[in-house]
Amino acid sequence: MIITDKRYFDRYKSTIGDLNPLVQNFDFQQRGHDLAYQTQASAVYSSNIEGNTIDLNSFMNYRQFQTKAKPQKELREIEDLIRAYNFAQ
């Protein structure tokens, strides 16, 4: 089912009811989840799309053991992206 298709919207809306109270009562400041791993993985994979050669396993080993075997420029690119993602969060 494609939820964004307009022909399904009325059925979807009747199933879940009015969205306004749900949105108005949602706590957007809730900080109960640690997204560090997901953020790091996203940064690595996004960097890979741009041509960065460091894989997730190598990056996590670098983070844990501070190894210097990989190109520093590529590591900085991932670290910069992680900082940007954290700022956006």
CA 9 to chain centre: 27
Instruction: Give the per-residue pLDDT at 69.
Output: 65
Residue pair 56/47 in contact (Cβ under 8 Å)? The answer is no
List phi, psi (to 5°) of 71: -60, 125
Instruction: Give the per-residue pLDDT at 50.
Output: 92
Q: Which of 6-10, 37-41, 71-75 has the lowest mean pLDDT?
A: 6-10
More confident residue, 17 or 41: 41
pLDDT above 70 for 1: no
- Per residue in 49-77, pLDDT tens? 999 999 999 999 888 887 766 688 999 99
The token duo for 67 is 């190894």
pTM of the model: 0.62
Residue pair 44/78 in contact (Cβ under 8 Å)? The answer is yes
Q: In the chain, how long is the greatest CA-to-CA distance? A: 57
